[in-house]
């Protein structure tokens, strides 16, 4: 089979020299769209740079110098709409946006974009965006958060960022994005069918329909094929041109004049009217999906050849010839000189040092850019006003739900950049009243009721964080997070890693969950599996078992997010929300005093909490398991078994030092884990003890069964009980 890379490279020279160029139905001239001859030449140079970067990456791959050859060939028209927007308009880009990045770099002084991109191709540790961790298109200086192989996963955070811009203006918040900024988000026609795209577009329309400002331009670059699956002719237009609340525009992405002209229309609508736009850019795909893609297997050679003749570089060449901007030989000189320039830079970039240790690779998983505490002093008078509805209750002991609510009340007063978002969290106060009165005290702009879409909730939080807010999104039930887990796993948690710590997604994600709910729910409301979070590098998981710890841990979580830019999952045991008694009705032993916030400037406590001093048995547990273990502890004491109960509290990272200190003081260890036997944290605890103790104690586990949670009393057949804990403890100690 012929080398299509070489053919496409040579076609430009041969067709331009012969004057054999594709035609266009567009009749616009440079004067019509407000572009000078110099600007046309500049756009052409950008397109040529992008093309030769693609070709060079394949040369480098054959030499073992490059590893990821998906490119932008056929999509170089995005240089024109890059020029139409400001360099401060945050852009969430897909992987065929090389020309966009190059053109934007020309708007910001001091950029060395070709060298930077080739360092990324070569996975060099000198790559200024990812530090050698991936070939990504991104730049802090260019307001382009890095993306990897995006299949629409970047759209939810783009709409969150768009929502954050007018929100920042309303709240007088000094964010990262200018108040008159807009958001750009591009993606392919195949990705337009993804459920994430559908949800993001729907959420944008939902907001715009209610006259909520949404300054965003969605750009669908439609090349008519997704790897090997063709997009039906007219499908994208039919699907998106009549969306309520969103203006649909279409342009020929092969023609830089039409693309620039239409993009300026989109910019006006988004920037001046603060309304969303769907810009449909018709383009082509050259050189296959990636370097490893043999197009001839699934496409006729005549189709491939016809597509190659629609090369956007050839269309730009025709525009320059028709308008007497450059001669054929002048364009060929630019083309050939650029090829040589990029080849020379590539040789330099390919020889740069790579990441050579696990520590170096992992250095950016946890953000190293710390920020000052953004809290303000809240006076006693202010607090009295905030808590006026609770003034008779503040001195009384309270259950978990009430204490979390009060902690959030104080935190929102102290941190003006906190914004909460979630379903039903406004006037209703959430399903369990944990957010009651927050909306009344701090307003709808800071306590945002969202539509029922977890991807939108989490995406909104990511976008808010991009603009300097401290988001606290709520997922109504743990089982619901699985609809949107990629927003945490693939987007928020990976951003510091792929940006070498330059971008972060600080937030505290509140999730009501775990399975002891007195018969309520069944599978989708009773979920005892949070394994989805445990294998995400850098993620912090908090799980308080009682109100006093919840207050302390929520304050710590906000500090972790604000000061250390961390992402925290705050898992709240639903069964403990309203629980007041521990051993018998009316004892009130599971209610606690609310301690007002003090000046938070000390170390954040991520350690375990211990109840009891017994040396015979150490019970390791968390959440509902801590409550059950405390009940079992009292009954075991009556039978002569003195136990200490260790509440893990922070499930990632585990307080290994604290756990081992308690284990080493005891003869036996019982792990009580309300999650399933397989894939639960109990497995990690057994491994820790076996690997880290000199003399391994006897260990036994009490876990939930490997089962989904049924409805009603049947749930307790597959969950740990006090009786099981007592039985296991006695077996160990005897």
Domains in the chain (CATH in brackets) are: 4-362 (3.40.50.970), 380-576 (3.40.50.970), 609-733 (3.40.50.920)
- 470-475 sheet: strands from edge to edge: 447-449, 418-422, 470-475, 507-513, 567-573, 540-542, 650-652
Q: Locate 110 and state its tokens.
A: 């001091």
pLDDT score, position 335: 98
Distances 345 to 46, 56, 135, 558 between C-alpha atoms, Å: 16, 10, 17, 45
Nearest to 157 by CA among 204, 206, 195, 191: 204
Helices (H) and strands (E) in the chain, counts: 26, 21
Q: How far apart are CA 550 and CA 562, in angstroms?
A: 18
Distances 676 to 98, 215, 401, 572 between C-alpha atoms, Å: 46, 45, 25, 18
Q: At what angle do helices 4-18 and 37-62 cross, to 10 degrees?
A: 150
Q: Are strands 137-139 and 144-147 parallel, antiparallel or unpaired?
A: antiparallel
pLDDT score, position 521: 66
Q: Which residues of 628-646 are buried (b: 16+ CB within 10 A; e: fewer)?
A: bbbbbbeebeeeebebbbb
Backbone angles phi, psi at 19, to 5 degrees: 75, 20
Q: How far apart are CA 542 and CA 452, in angstroms?
A: 25
pTM: 0.94
Distances 566 to 81, 503, 507, 550, 569 between C-alpha atoms, Å: 34, 11, 7, 18, 10
Average pLDDT over residues 314-319: 98
Residue 542 has pLDDT above 50, yes or no: yes
CB contact at 8 A, 207 and 163: yes
The widest CA-to-CA distance across the chain, in whole angstroms, is: 98
Give bridge partners of residue 471 from the DSSP assignment.
419
Place of tokens 């009165």: 437
Q: Are strands 698-704 and 643-647 parallel, antiparallel or unpaired?
A: unpaired
pLDDT score, position 606: 94
Q: At what angle do helices 4-18 and 328-350 cross, to 10 degrees?
A: 150
The predicted-structure confidence for 408-421, as pLDDT tens digits, reads as follows: 999 999 999 999 99
Average pLDDT over residues 16-26: 94
Residue 694 has pLDDT above 80, yes or no: no
Q: How many CA atoms lie within 13 A of 438 on its CB side?
A: 32
**DSSP state, 607?**
-
Q: Locate 249 and state its tokens.
A: 């525009």
pLDDT score, position 543: 98
Helices of type H across 565-676: 623-638, 656-663
Backbone angles phi, psi at 265, to 5 degrees: -65, -45
The predicted-structure confidence for 444-482, as pLDDT tens digits, reads as follows: 999 999 999 999 999 999 999 999 999 999 999 998 998
Distance between the two ends of the chain, CA-based, in angstroms?
75
Question: What's the chain's length in residues?
Answer: 734
Helices of type H across 323-399: 328-350, 358-362, 380-386
**DSSP state, 675?**
E
Q: Locate 284 and state its tokens.
A: 């082509």
Residue 312 has pLDDT above 90, yes or no: yes
The predicted-structure confidence for 604-624, as pLDDT tens digits, reads as follows: 899 999 999 999 999 999 999
- 91-92 sheet: strands from edge to edge: 91-92, 183-188, 216-222, 277-282, 247-252
The predicted-structure confidence for 627-676, as pLDDT tens digits, reads as follows: 999 999 999 999 999 999 999 999 999 999 999 999 999 999 999 999 99
Helices of type H across 106-222: 113-121, 155-170, 195-209
Q: Locate 95 and state its tokens.
A: 């992987």
Lowest mean pLDDT among 36-45, 309-318, 512-521, 687-696: 512-521
The predicted-structure confidence for 50-103, as pLDDT tens digits, reads as follows: 999 999 999 999 999 988 888 999 999 999 999 999 999 999 999 999 999 999
**DSSP state, 478?**
G
Distances 358 to 133, 355, 361, 507, 540 between C-alpha atoms, Å: 11, 8, 5, 27, 21
Average pLDDT over residues 525-554: 93
Backbone angles phi, psi at 219, to 5 degrees: -120, 110
pLDDT score, position 599: 62
Average pLDDT over residues 572-599: 94
CB contact at 8 A, 284 and 72: no
Q: How far apart are CA 492 and CA 161, in angstroms?
A: 13
pLDDT score, position 223: 95
Residue 1 has pLDDT above 50, yes or no: no
Cis bond upstream, residue 82 (ω within 30): no
Q: Going by C-beta distance under 8 Å and a sequence separation of 6 or more, which residues neighbour residue 107? A: 86, 87
The predicted-structure confidence for 669-693, as pLDDT tens digits, reads as follows: 999 999 999 999 999 999 999 999 8
Lowest mean pLDDT among 363-367, 424-428, 706-710: 706-710
Task: Identify which has the larger pLDDT, 132 or 150.
Answer: 132
**DSSP state, 124?**
B
Backbone angles phi, psi at 338, to 5 degrees: -65, -40
Strand extents, DSSP E, 98-154: 137-139, 144-147
Q: How far apart are CA 669 and CA 646, in angstroms?
A: 10
């Amino acid at each position: 089979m012929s080398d299509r890379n070489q053919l496409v490279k040579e076609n430009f020279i041969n067709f331009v020299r012969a004057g054999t160029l594709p035609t266009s139905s567009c009749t616009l001239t440079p004067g019509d769209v407000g572009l000078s001859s110099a600007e046309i030449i500049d756009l052409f140079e950008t397109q040529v740079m992008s093309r030769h970067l693609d070709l060079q990456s394949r040369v480098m791959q054959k030499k073992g110098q490059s590893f990821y050859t998906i490119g932008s060939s056929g999509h170089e028209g995005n240089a024109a709409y890059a020029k139409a927007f400001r360099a401060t308009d945050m852009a969430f880009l897909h992987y065929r946006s090389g020309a966009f990045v190059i053109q934007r770099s020309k708007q910001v002084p001091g950029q060395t974009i070709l060298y930077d991109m080739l360092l990324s191709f070569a996975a060099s540790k000198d790559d200024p965006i990812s530090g050698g961790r991936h070939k990504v298109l991104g730049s802090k200086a260019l307001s382009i958060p890095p993306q990897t192989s995006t299949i629409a996963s970047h759209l939810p955070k783009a709409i969150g960022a768009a929502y954050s811009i007018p929100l920042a203006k309303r709240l007088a918040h000094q964010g990262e994005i200018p108040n008159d900024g807009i958001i750009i988000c591009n993606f392919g026609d195949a990705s337009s069918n993804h459920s994430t795209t559908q949800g993001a577009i729907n959420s944008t329309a939902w907001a715009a329909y209610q006259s909520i400002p949404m300054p965003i331009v969605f750009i669908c670059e439609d090349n008519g094929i997704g790897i090997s699956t063709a997009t039906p002719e007219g499908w994208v237009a039919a699907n998106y041109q009549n969306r309520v609340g969103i203006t649909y525009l279409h342009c020929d992405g092969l023609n830089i004049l039409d693309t620039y002209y239409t993009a300026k229309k989109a910019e006006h609508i988004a920037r001046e009217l603060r309304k969303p736009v769907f810009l449909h850019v018709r383009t082509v795909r050259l050189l296959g999906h990636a370097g490893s893609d043999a197009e001839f297997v699934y496409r006729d050679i005549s189709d491939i050849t016809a597509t190659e003749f629609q090369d956007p570089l050839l269309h730009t060449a025709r525009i320059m010839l028709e308008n007497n901007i450059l001669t054929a030989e002048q364009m060929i000189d630019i083309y050939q000189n650029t090829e040589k320039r990029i080849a020379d830079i590539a040789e330099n970039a390919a020889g740069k040092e790579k990441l050579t240790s696990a520590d170096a690779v992992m250095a950016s998983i946890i953000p190293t850019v710390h920020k000052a505490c953004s809290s303000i002093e809240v006076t006693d008078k202010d607090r009295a006003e905030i808590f006026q509805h609770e003034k008779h209750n503040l001195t009384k002991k309270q259950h978990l739900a009430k204490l979390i609510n009060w902690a959030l009340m104080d935190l929102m007063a102290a941190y003006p950049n906190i914004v909460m978002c979630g379903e039903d969290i406004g006037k209703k106060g959430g399903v369990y009243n944990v957010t009651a009165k927050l909306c009344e005290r701090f307003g709808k702009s800071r306590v945002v009721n969202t539509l029922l879409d977890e991807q939108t909730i989490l995406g909104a939080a990511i976008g808010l964080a991009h603009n300097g807010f401290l988001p606290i999104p709520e997922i109504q039930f743990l089982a619901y997070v699985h609809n949107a887990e990629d927003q945490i796993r693939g987007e928020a948690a990976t951003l510091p890693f792929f940006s070498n710590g330059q971008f972060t997604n600080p937030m505290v994600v509140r999730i009501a969950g775990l399975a002891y709910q007195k018969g309520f729910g069944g599978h989708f409301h009773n979920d005892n599996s949070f394994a989805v979070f445990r294998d995400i590098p850098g993620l912090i998981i908090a799980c308080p078992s009682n109100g006093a710890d919840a207050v302390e841990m929520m304050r710590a979580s906000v500090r972790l997010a604000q000061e250390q830019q961390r992402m925290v999952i705050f898992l709240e045991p639903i069964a403990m929300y309203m629980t007041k008694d521990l051993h018998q009705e009316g004892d009130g032993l599971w209610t606690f005093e609310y301690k007002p916030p003090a000046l938070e400037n000390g170390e954040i406590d991520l350690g375990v909490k211990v109840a009891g001093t017994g040396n015979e048995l150490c019970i390791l547990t968390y959440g509902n398991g801590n409550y059950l273990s405390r009940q079992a502890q009292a009954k075991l004491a009556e039978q002569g078994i003195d136990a200490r109960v260790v509440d893990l509290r922070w499930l990632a990272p585990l307080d290994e030092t604290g756990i081992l200190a308690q284990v080493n003081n005891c003869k036996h260890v019982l792990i009580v884990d309300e999650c399933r036997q397989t894939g639960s944290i109990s497995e990690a605890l057994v491994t820790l003890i076996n690997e880290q103790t000199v003399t391994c104690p006897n260990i036994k586990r009490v876990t939930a069964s490997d089962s989904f949670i049924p409805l009603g009393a049947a749930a307790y057949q597959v969950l740990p009980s006090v009786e099981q804990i007592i039985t296991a403890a006695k077996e160990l100690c005897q």
